[in-house]
Amino acid sequence: MAAQSSISQPPVPLAGRVAIVTGSSRGIGRAIAIHLAELGARIVVNYTSKSDDAERVATEINDLPAREVVTGKGPRAIVVKANVSEPSEVKSLFDAAESAFESPVHILVNSAGVLDPKYPTIADTSVEDFDRTFSVNTRGSFLCSKEAANRLKQGGGGRIILMTSSSTRILKPGFGAYAASKAAVETMVKILAKELKGTGITANCVAPGPIATEMFFEGKSAELIKSVATECPFGRIGEPKDVVPLVGFLASDGGEWINGQVIPVNGGYV
């Protein structure tokens, strides 16, 4: 009789938990969705316009090697279209998660966001672009947090993680509307954490520095990208893989004592 292997299986910290990751068809959101799935979570891949990209993310998650782990009903990942700046669509996003997985949502990661690729000064920012920035970045975070604050209570606690930006500290010209939209979210999360006292729900912001995504590269010259990289002590632009371990930790039981915080993850860029 063959001896049983003494090699233990790696822990599955999010086994059976349901996570909504907004803006997860690409960029940082995509990397977060896949990472949380690797930790055992069942994932709602959210998108607004890139349906093919979202489907590819869900397929990649559903094709991950099986671990004894994923408890609960339904697939490991589903795709849901929703504009986070519209209350009815945010509600439908949570409804779809609860229906598909027959479970309350345990984790919200709001990664949906926009950045004006023209990097205009405040004097040159149109009212329409300002409103769009705040609609997605600030209103979207508010609506998702509001829904999560009510829905996650039904699951006996959970995690609200909002993606902001190190631009709220760097304060570079050309990022006035964007940085302001993210600074509002950071203020809101600190209050939200206090308002959720007694629920077991934590609320935090993760604030990446420059990350090599489509949104970051859009509108930037090669010279500007090189200049940004040299400002970091590591001499490079960050990558999504540099951000996801922190999000995974905050989503897990180990992150319970971190609450109401804004955590930069930027390699010392600021």
CA distance 112 to 144: 10
CA–CA distance, 182 with 188 (Å, rounded to integer): 10
Listed residue (37, 137, 129) closest to 85, CA to CA: 137
Cα–Cα–Cα angle for 66, 67, 70, rounded to 5 degrees: 95
Distance, CA of 164 to CA of 179 (rounded, Å): 9
Residues 6+ apart with CB under 8 A from 134: 177, 180, 181, 184
CA angle 219, 213, 45 (to 5 degrees): 125
H helices, E strands: number in the chain: 10, 7
A 10 A CB-CB count for 245 gives: 11
Catalytic positions, written as ranges: 178
Q: Return d(Cα 253, Cα 239) in angstroms, integer.
A: 25
CA torsion sign for 101, 242, 263, 135 is: negative
